Structure 1
């Protein structure tokens, strides 16, 4: 049975299509030491003391050796508090394909994954979480008090539990794959683990060593995974362990200008170390600040960014089914494109069918309007349905189809802000390598 890797295909393919200057993290926030290290940070902007926010992750910083590169959440599809690094020289030499798996990557590229867990969330999920259950204010307050008491009184027991679950998971995977060998649990008696209490060493596949570290700092349980090929252990393991020890949740120790994962632009551009069939041209666009990033989905001949914003208020309409707004940016080779310019321009009202066979009410050809800026796109269509609009922007060039699509509910309170942000994506969209 194939082991499920912790790196998605999207991450593997995306790195091969991105460069440091294409994912434009704010370099004004870069903090480097003379010793060759960079400090990275996650900032929780909401007040975690306020009811409703008590399960959110807390702000932290970590200082990592400069031979390791942090991948943006827009590349890894991970939640914002997680950080993923890999050894940049090794990744630059790795030959990526559309079929590359995490197991193949781990054989050659050392990685660090930091996965902090709010202590309140850990206890709440384990003992109180229930889908669809509606609680009164008094019941909710009772849960908060119960969770708080459990966290304050049993932190050591929780870490022991996390350790045992990790060991059992490793054993179970090895049994399923018919592999021999037991995981080894290291403690502070064996290594300088800094804020970590346990380090579980295992060999998930021949030639690869995993070190899974478990510890605690303030309101957070620390979970960090170091993966290193055996042939690179002597060279890099101590450097990697030193880096993950340099994590802090104390705001007094925060560096004022740590690197934050706040890119202003996103880009696609193929790299030399990507092998196989893929879009051979690139593009960039400004991030839509009003929308919530959901995932990147590179597969086959498609590269796709998706943003999905759930409306703040319900909208009462008899036939209305659009509860969120979706923005999709993608490029495909012409022979695989789901939409083409000529076909889109020639569609009739009856060709546009949406949710529950909802027929289109009207079609507007925005590219025909002199006062409407469509950016580089030569076909632009808006279709009105019952209570919402759908937009298509297409550009065909050099055997590829560039496409931006989105939908918005007309009565949504976020309508004006989302439309402005979405159209800014269209109007800042630039082609590269054409």
Structure 2
């Protein structure tokens, strides 16, 4: 399937067919399942989404980082079609199949760390995180888990406890799981001026030693670049210093790379941007399978082997179709060009966004790595979060055919996660729409 890679609006947004579908939706879909853009998509390819009214949108979110390799990537589609016609399900823990092994072979080759690694696969990012908690507790015999301010790890009972922001993810859903402790994060834009990564790590370590005790901690979970928290990139030295402390105290260091991994930042994993940082376990999902539900844990073999047989798994975890899609994605990444494309996209984004920052004082910071970039909005001349500007800009972009996403603890961040298949022309077109929205705000 091909769709012309061009933004094209033929109706008002939403169009009449989307409006009709929204009415049907309201009758039968839970109100708890929200929608940022009430437009119903019919098909997609590359970096373009086409709705049921024929409008074509530039996708700057990739389904929150899922279709990193592009919508309906040909090799992913072919792999899924072949697999679903050949073998749809047995459950790997009942009767295994080769693609599960193959995707593990590829992912262990590219995960940071010089040690031997093993993997296990599940469905969602939250499942991967929960299973990483299980593995760390089993390996250490300890119970307590450390996470960080502004973190997001999922919507299950345990991962809701691990999130920093309660609303909307945990409001009214308690009681939540215990034995989870939140430590201060390195947030260079909002930390005291001049604070180094090592100093920020010392602050977090002091808190955990006093509040929990290193001997009680099974694992420290951290996103090397925070996702829902607003694409916060910790100061250099923060991750490395935490990792050294964990290794000195027998604590499992877990990098949650559900959003930042699989070529998103210009490296296989965002953890690789921090020299000397080698997490024991990494959780993956989103971009690993081109849109199919696949997640996993990969890390030190001795930690991954700590669980007894039957302790890890699940009926649909690592399904034949999902792992076949995963192989198709990872093989293309191995063939080359995608990491470089991520860096090229990052260069275009940062150049354009920094130019806009110089023009509009409501842009407080531009940050990110590769094709994972964000802008944080403030009230001009202050550090006060400006969520209203983000709300108006998101609405403007949606109305003009560009799908962008908000983020941030204070709802004052716009994040960019375009498919790596996007052209320079489409990328500039999307940024032109954003620039027009900023000019409209300034007036």
TM range (shorter): under 0.3
CA radius of gyration, larger in = 1
| TM-score relative to the length of structure 1 | 0.22
The structure with more helix, counted as a fraction of residues: 2
**Bigger relative contact order, structure 1 or 2 (CA pairs below 8 A, ≥6 apart):** 2
The structure with more strand, counted as a fraction of residues: 1
